[in-house]
Amino acid sequence: MSLVERVFARMAAFYGARFADMWRDVEPADLKRTWAEELAGFTPDEIARGIDGCRTRDWPPTLPEFLRLCRPALDYESAFCEAAEQMYRRQQGEDRWSDAAIYWAATWMGRDVTASPYEPVKGRWKANLDRALQAIRGGELPNEVPPRLQALPAPGATVASAGDARAILRGEA
């Protein structure tokens, strides 16, 4: 409920009397309870996205409009294109993802993201992206892209002295 209080305070600051007038015929406790119930499964990041979406609106959103601001519908084909580009950029450590779910779906798709056009894999892509979104909302996956790990050198491509190797094995290096 405190989250709803903060959302309402922000809306009041953005819209003033427009926000209060919008709900004047609704019992305040019922209004806040309904918003709290509907926002219960949303992450703080999603609610922040909804509030950010209000910055460019002249009128306060209804509850369904606010829910759509929090969780805008993804364009699956655009998300696939982003995944293909970002997976390539990740190899250089220059990836920038708009949504962690796109990253997770891309990793599950493997090379198909960078090697296949959208049409042949769109069914699998949609299923994986939906699964990633659900896993993030359910707390099974983090809502962030993990940092890129450095690849190990190929076997035989590096040389370490015996002393260095012992230090590495002892965890001192």
- What's the pLDDT tens digit per position in 20-39? 999 999 999 999 999 999 99
Neighbours of 161 (CB within 10 A): 8
- The answer to whether residues 121 and 112 touch, using CB atoms and an 8 Å cutoff, is yes
Q: How many CA atoms lie within 13 A of 79 on its CB side?
A: 25
Q: How far is CA 145 from CA 6, 136, 142, in A?
A: 28, 11, 8
- What's the pLDDT tens digit per position in 65-93? 999 999 888 899 999 999 999 999 998 88
Q: What does the alpha-carbon distance between residue 161 and residue 13 come to, in Å, rounded to a whole number?
A: 65
Q: Which two tokens stand for residue 83?
A: 């995944």
Q: Which two tokens stand for residue 64?
A: 């369904």
Q: How far is CA 115 from the centre of its chain?
A: 24
pLDDT tops 90 at residue 167: no
